[in-house]
């Protein structure tokens, strides 16, 4: 199958929690001449989007561009079946377009729900948050701890910490004992004893500051340990984030707005989650076949907020994900059956296995690479097949995907392979737009990030 690859403007916007990153992987960005009308990056793009986001998420301007190209209007419903932290849903809401998102990772789904919840009064949110901060300050003060560092001569044996099971889920040193204790005291104040109408926003503000402002994590784009912070101003940083939220709510509430719904579920099994023939357009970015454990990116805040606190709970969540890394492969997985006999996928898997043997790689996870490749593409084919019933005739679909060489440096042209699989289950392949390119550190080659364009004929 020949796929038309178009040239679309590149958005050089690698972000972590709304801040531009300077990383080796992002050091060589080709800014390409656009074959479509340029969509400006607006000052307002950070509003709401910046409440919580993942590293390397695509920019809001890209969503606007494809809403325009797909001729999406106020009477349409847009689906993001891998909605993550909600870039598509938030941008649809800003544009007055109804949307629905599906997300399996609890922390991301929670963030997305909070980011499309605009009905609270911002001045009341801020007033409540100040009372929460005062309660947290009071509790800490009674323990001889101030929010502003440095605190000296604190008895670390009396600090609140994670359980042993929860601690085992985290990178060692992800957060220092004193900032963790302060975060727990703040969490207690947020949850309080009675009903809190601002709970989701206040919890999301805590999740937003935990990884890098309070904790010791760094993203580049992999997660690791950065500079250790023995102390941090947890409560004041949290209150600043709530103030940012209140300001954003004041700015977006006059917009037309539209209904937004977030469903926690497996994007490979959409038949039970979506109404038949209800979706006019899809814009999304599924996992890439890149050996990245997407549950690890938000592990600290996931544990802190109680989404999982044991390896068994984590395993249950991983089983609802498209397989893209060896840490989420299980014996009973059978998505590879969906691509049995697909020559292109078999060829990639065989090339990876041949490369493994040639390099003498014998570890358990390296032996899984060929099977993992089949599980990934099988899971995506299963997704395409089970999505069909929810699409209106003529529905347009955009999938932001990237070429990868993570499995022993064997190049995987993700967009082209997904196009072939989508076509095999009845979609029309419209083309592939180049979104941006970046230099892969391991291979020193340019990796394409693209938007695969499909149409459901109905």
Written as tens digits, the pLDDT of the chain (458 aa) is 656 555 433 333 322 223 232 222 322 223 332 333 355 656 578 999 999 998 767 899 999 999 999 999 999 999 999 999 999 999 999 999 999 999 999 999 999 999 999 999 999 999 999 999 999 999 999 999 999 999 988 888 899 999 999 999 999 999 999 999 999 999 999 999 888 999 999 999 999 999 999 999 998 767 899 999 999 999 999 999 999 999 999 999 999 889 999 999 999 999 999 999 999 999 999 998 888 888 888 999 999 999 998 999 999 999 999 999 999 999 999 999 999 999 999 999 999 999 999 999 999 888 999 999 999 999 999 999 999 999 999 999 999 999 988 888 888 999 999 999 999 999 999 999 998 887 666 666 778 899 999 999 98
Same domain, 275 and 226: no
73/189 same-domain check: no
Model confidence, pTM: 0.90
The answer to whether residue 362 is domain-embedded is yes
DSSP 400: E
Residue 247 and residue 213 in one domain? yes
Do 66 and 45 share a domain, yes or no? yes
Q: Quote the number of domains for the chain.
A: 2
Examine residue 213 and state whether it is found in any structural domain, yes or no. yes
Any domain includes 113? no
Position 116 in a domain:
no
CATH at residue 417? 3.40.50.150
For residue 346, what are the CA distances in angstroms to 85, 257, 321, 361? 33, 46, 22, 20
How many other C-beta atoms can be found within 10 angstroms of the C-beta atom of residue 333?
17
The encoded tokens of residue 231 equal: 């102390």
- Domain that residue 393 falls in: 5-105+256-290+325-456
| 63 within some domain | yes
Does residue 219 belong to any structural domain of this protein?
Answer: yes
Please check whether residue 312 lies inside any domain of the structure: no
Measured CA to CA, the distance from residue 362 to residue 356 in angstroms comes to: 8
Q: Are residues 139 and 98 in the same domain?
A: no
- 378 shares a domain with 238: no
Residues 6+ apart with CB under 8 A from 337: 378
281-337 confidence digits (pLDDT tens): 999 999 988 888 888 889 999 999 999 989 999 999 999 999 999 999 999 999 999
CB 450 within 8 A of CB 412: no
- Same structural domain for residues 369 and 269? yes
Is 316 a domain residue? Answer: no
- Last residue within a domain, chosen from 203, 227, 252: 252
> Last residue of a domain, which of 252, 267, 302?
252
> Do 140 and 246 sit in the same domain of this protein?
yes
Q: Is the dihedral of CA 247, 248, 251, 257 positive or negative?
A: negative
């Amino acid at each position: 199958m020949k796929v038309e690859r178009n040239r679309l403007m590149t958005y050089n916007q690698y972000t972590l929690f709304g801040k531009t990153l300077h990383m080796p992987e992002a050091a060589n960005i080709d800014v390409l001449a656009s074959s479509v009308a340029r969509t400006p990056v607006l000052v307002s793009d950070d509003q709401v989007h910046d409440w919580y986001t993942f590293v390397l998420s695509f920019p809001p301007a890209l969503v606007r561009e494809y809403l325009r190209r797909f001729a999406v209007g106020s009477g349409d419903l847009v689906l993001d079946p891998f909605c993550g932290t909600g870039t598509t849903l938030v941008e649809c809401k800003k544009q007055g377009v109804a949307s629905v998102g599906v997300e399996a990772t609890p922390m991301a789904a929670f963030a997305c729900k909070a980011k499309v919840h605009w009905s609270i009064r911002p001045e009341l949110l801020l007033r409540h948050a100040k009372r929460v901060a005062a309660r947290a300050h009071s509790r800490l003060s009674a323990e001889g701890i101030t929010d502003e560092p440095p605190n000296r001569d604190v008895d670390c044996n009396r600090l609140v910490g994670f359980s042993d099971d929860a601690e085992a889920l985290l990178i060692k040193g992800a957060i220092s004992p004193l900032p963790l204790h302060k975060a727990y005291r703040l969490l207690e104040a947020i949850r309080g004893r009675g009903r809190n109408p601002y709970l989701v926003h206040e919890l999301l503000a805590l999740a937003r500051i935990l990884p890098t402002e309070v904790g010791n994590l760094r993203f580049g784009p992999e997660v690791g340990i950065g500079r250790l912070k023995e102390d941090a101003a947890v409560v004041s940083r949290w209150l600043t984030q709530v103030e940012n939220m209140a300001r954003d709510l004041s700015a977006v509430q006059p917009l037309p707005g539209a209904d937004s719904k977030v469903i926690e579920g497996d994007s490979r099994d959409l038949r039970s989650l979506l109404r038949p023939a209800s979706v006019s357009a899809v814009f999304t970015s599924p996992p890439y076949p890149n050996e990245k454990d997407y549950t690890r990116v938000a592990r600290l805040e996931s544990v802190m907020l109680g989404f999982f606190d044991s390896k068994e709970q984590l395993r249950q969540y991983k089983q609802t994900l498209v397989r893209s890394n060896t840490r989420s492969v299980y014996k009973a997985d059978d998505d590879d059956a969906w691509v049995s006999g697909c020559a292109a996928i078999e060829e990639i898997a065989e090339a990876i296995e041949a490369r493994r043997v040639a390099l003498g790689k014998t570890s358990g996870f390296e032996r899984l690479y060929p099977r993992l490749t089949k599980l990934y593409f099988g899971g995506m084919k299963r997704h395409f097949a089970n999505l069909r019933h929810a699409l209106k005739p003529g529905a347009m679909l955009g999938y932001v995907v990237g070429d990868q060489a993570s499995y022993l440096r064997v190049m995987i042209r993700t967009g082209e392979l997904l196009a072939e699989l989508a076509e095999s289950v009845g979609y029309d392949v419209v083309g592939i737009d180049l979104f941006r390119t970046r230099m892969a550190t391991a291979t020193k080659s340019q990796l394409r990030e693209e938007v695969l364009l499909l149409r459901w004929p109905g």
